[in-house]
Chains A and B, each alone.
Chain A
């Protein structure tokens, strides 16, 4: 079956701009989580969406937001970009959460803020 698809794979943005990243989960999966990975902080949880509702949220500023559509595809948006937002953004999907389910990660979107 098709895996988790993230687009775009690479992008460069300027400070102050905003960016939208997209994630298409595995067919039949309703839970989509987003993580930020940096060399200094490792992988940090951003938020999780399930059936179009945000079910859990990490400790990131309000500049980071997301949404999920009725087909379970998800987008995350970062507004007013800062240099520190440069990171690999990973999307993970599962059938309905962690319990008893395998979490599948996409290859990520590499964001560079200059």
Chain B
């Protein structure tokens, strides 16, 4: 059974602080995706990382895929209240299917 351990589960910080969310597994994934979900809405894709060691930047968000494609991290620089939400990592099972294995999620609260 493929599992993704996401940490921390909850994070409450002040505006301007930096934070990192981790996603770890003992399994190898063909790709790993990060989503953000607002209350009452479905997850929205932020980024997909495919290659081991890959780093992608999206404004103040930096995503990294581990060399062995078993782990990933999301780093937010100078967090803003608008970053508040549920962040989810999801690993794609090999093969071209619609199956994603999700982490438990990180609820981020950024206080002004």
Contacts and interface: CB of A to CB of B under 8 A. Distances in A.
Interface in B1-55: 30-31, 33, 35, 40-45, 48
Contacts of B61: none
Contacts of A105: 35, 42-44
A45 B88 contact: no
A80 interface: no
Given A43-B88, A90-B42, A107-B40, A99 B96 contact: yes
Contacts of A31: 97-98
Contacts of B31: 98-99
Interface in A5-31: 31
A42 B105 contact: yes
Q: What band does the interface of chain A fall in when counting residues whose beta carbon is under 8 Å from B?
A: 20 to 34
B100 interface: yes
A92 B98 CA distance: 8
Nearest to B43: A105
A98 B92 contact: yes
Contacts of A103: 33, 45, 98, 100
A72 interface: no
B42 A108 contact: yes
> Which among A31, A97, A98, A105 has the highest number of chain B CB atoms within 10 Å?
A98
A55 B98 contact: yes
Nearest to A93: B98
7 contacts: A45-B99, A56-B97, A56-B98, A99-B92, A102-B45, A103-B33, A103-B45
A106 B12 CA distance: 28
A96 interface: yes
Closest 7 CB pairs of A and B: A105-B42, A33-B98, A48-B98, A97-B96, A43-B102, A99-B96, A98-B92
